[in-house]
Each structure stands twice: as C-alpha cells, then as structure tokens.
Amino acid sequence: MTVRTRFAPSPTGFLHVGSARTALYAWLYARKHDGKFIVRIEDTDKGREVEGAIGHMMESLKWLGIQWDESIDVGGPYEPYIQSSRLDSYRSYALRLIDAGFAYPDPYTEEEVEAFRKTAEEEKRPFLFRDHRPETTGAWDGSQPLRFKVPTIKRFEWEDAVMGTLSAGEEALDDFILIKGDGYPTYNFAHVIDDIEMKITHVMRGQEFVSSTPKFLSLYEALNEVPPVFVTLPPILGDGGNKKLSKRDGAKDILDYRREGYLPETLVNFLALLGWSPGGDQEFFTPFGLIEAFDISRIQRSGAQFDEDKLKHLNREHMRLLSDQEYISRGQLHATDDVRLFKAVPLLKERSYTFAEAREMLEGELSCLFRSPELSADQLKAKEPAERADLTKEALEGVLGLLEGLPAQLPAEAVKMALMPYADSQEALLKGGRGAVLWPTRYALSGSERSPDPFTLISILGIEEASSRIRAALAIL
C-alpha cells in the first residue's frame, strides 16, 4: 500500500501554527514512507472565504519547505484538487446514497427546524434531526438540502493511531446535511468523498474532529468504503498552557515569522516538537533529520505548550549553523563596507536570535563599524578618576602608541593580548582601574555606551581606522 496523506485547508484566513503543524506531520509521514503528500483546498464555505488566502497558504507551505506531490498547481491523478470544482463528484455520491436509501431531501424550512431545536431545549433533551425524519419525501431536485439517513443507530468504536481505542454512543449520530440548498457539499460529506476518491490512507487532524468521527464512519459504512487511519494530534496551547492557542491569543500568520527574521527550518524543527517526541534529549533537527526520526507512535496525547522563547533560542542555533556568507545572504544584511560586515557576522551570530534583530544591531550598536562616531569629551572622560584629570588623554595616547606597532589586521584575541597589559598597569597605579583605559578606547572607537569590546572593534575596523578614530578623540580633549 502506498501511503497517501493530505493537508486540506479552508481558505478562510492565513496559515497559523496549528494548521502548519498538521501539514508538517502529514508531509513527514508521507516522506518517511516514500508516499505521496497532497494539498487539497476545501473551499465550499464561500461566505467565509478570504480573498488571496489560497495563494497565501501555498506560499507559507513553500517557505517552510513542505513540498506537495499533488495539488491545484501541479495536478495529479485525482484532480481537481479544489472542492468547488468537484461538485459533480459529490452529486454522484449523493445519488448513490439516495438510491441505497441513505439520503433524503430535507422538507423543512429553517424556521421549522429552529422550532424543533427550541422544543428540545425546553424539554432539556439533545436536539436530533433524526427524531424528525419525514415518513415520505419527494425526489431530490437539488434545490433542497440533502440529508444523510444514518443506516444504523449504534455505538461506534474505532482505533486512532494516537489516542488508541475510542468510542461514542448513539447520541453522536444524526442525519446531517450532505449537500446544502446552494448545491455545495458540507465539510462532513465532501472531505469523506475526497479522501475516498484520492485514496488517502492516513488523516492527520485535531482533537476537535473526534466527536464527529461516528458520522464519518457511518458514511463510510453506507458507501461500503474502508475509512483511512485517523491520527489525532494534540492541541497547541497558549495563554500559559490553559487553553488552545488561537488567533485571538497570538497565533501568528506563518509568514509573520519570515518577516520577523526566523529561518523556515527553525519553524519546521519547532513545530515538529509541538506534540511529538523523538524519544531522547535531541531537540535540534534538520528537515531531513525529522523525516528520518518521525514516528506516529511518538505523537503525544496531551497538549503542547507554545514557547516563543524556546523558538527564539532554537532559531539562533539554526542561524549559527549557516556559513557567514549564507548568514548575510539569507538575512538580507547590508552595509557600506562588505569586509567589515563579514567580520561582524560572528558578533551577530552570538547576539541575535532572529535576522530582524541582526538588522537592528547593524543599524544600532554596530553602526559604528560603518561610520565615524560623533564624540563627546565628557563621555570620553566618564571613567577618569578625580585625582588624575589628564588620565584619559594619557590612556588614549598609550593605546595609540601600541596600535601603531601592530600588524594592519589582527583577531580580537591578539589585540586583547597586546592592550591588556597596558590597561592592567594603569589599574595598578590608579583608582580608576583598567576601565580608565578601556572605556575611553571603546567610546573613541564607537561613540556609544553600547558597543562590542574595544578589542573586537579594533579587529573589525583594522589598525589604521582604529588609530584614526583615537586621534580624533584626542583632538577634542
């Protein structure tokens, strides 16, 4: 049997983390078993459809690296892959059910159905449409809602790949609508028919669909079809783990993470761990590593907490794996001096959790690498002890003398070895300590209270530029 999984979003909004994880698990399972992954668009709820949502979802999946084998853009053996173009297929299956005695046109108006519902509420009993089945109905002409006539009112029991044995009683079954009066199928009908025709073997879905499973199973039974394997995924929790993460609680558009400078491989790694465990302590995975490790049996039943701090730390680890050139390219980093930008990458890798933060650093505390600073004499003297009013000038002159004897380019550690003995000698003589040397040096180089240490700055700027900036500082003292 060829494994065939699917992701079937409704174009009613953007792709958020819950839906993206569903797509990811379906994709991982298909790839792990050399199967096929299908993206199918369920667009029968026309009243809620959002313009551009289909393109947005497809772009989101592509950015994450979740590539499909069959869909609206690449076709496949079971096209079309959008429900609004499959109406003839649903009608064909509906006629099969009518002929078998398992479907009938709904003869009631909306007002009559609402009256039935209100009566049930007043009598404190559940409303079941099957309690109001008409004894006889005319032929279905396509203008009335078509309802499923549950073949057998019974208790259903089924196996879920994650939840184990599940069951539901007779109250879970009712005569639900198959095709609405506008000719469009309901979700309960259309997705079952699509899964049958597209030969889907495994269905990844959220826990909210468990209560509806008896309806689906009853429909499979009426059509004499074998249902797929159901794989129920745990909820993703927000709000401190108290409730399911929703758009209202901060569930972001997946492409927001791209705008914020996250790597797609980070999102894939992070989403995979939201409800699945590899069975050890490993948390860092490449997409290929996830395919190799993924196992349905290790999907957890309990909810998974969405932890954005963990996401940021994981992103930094993925960013650090990039070569310096990849880091600059993928981060879309720009500066007026490419050589200094390249030298700044180790700093960015150490301090930035996203590429947005890296860009902010280049425009903020690291901007001194690409422009000469504006200096204040008072700031230069900020660490100068009261008993030595001339120390700042002497300290900078000493540093300048040491720099002039060094090679043009040195790593930061070599610069530190050259300057620290001088700073330490001043510490021994003066109450100002080594800061009386290191502070004015760093400020002269950066013009900022927040910047890398002076050794790193000198290494990146080069001896000639660092010496020039120190001379400029001496000139204002």
Residues annotated as catalytic are 247
**Token pair belonging to 247:** 């758009």
Separation of alpha carbons 66 and 272, rounded Å: 12
Could you tell me which of 181, 218, 215, 188 has the C-alpha nearest to residue 83?
188
Could you tell me which of 321, 239, 240, 237 has the C-alpha nearest to residue 284?
321
Residue type for 13, please?
Answer: G
CA 174 to chain centre: 37
Separation of alpha carbons 239 and 41, rounded Å: 30
Measure the CA angle with vertex 327, ends 462 and 253; round to 5°. Answer: 140
* H helices, E strands: number in the chain: 19, 12
Separation of alpha carbons 290 and 30, rounded Å: 12
Measure the CA angle with vertex 18, ends 172 and 67; round to 5°. Answer: 115
Distances (CA, A) of 286 to 231, 258, 292: 24, 18, 10
* Phi, psi at 52, each rounded to 5°: 85, -5
Separation of alpha carbons 148 and 37, rounded Å: 30
- SS3 label, residue 284: coil
Identify whether the C-beta of residue 7 lies closer than 8 Å to the C-beta of residue 40: yes
Residue type for 162, please?
Answer: V
Distances (CA, A) of 272 to 161, 340, 374: 17, 37, 48
**Token pair belonging to 384:** 């100068």
Helix axes 412-429, 435-446, angle to 10 degrees: 130
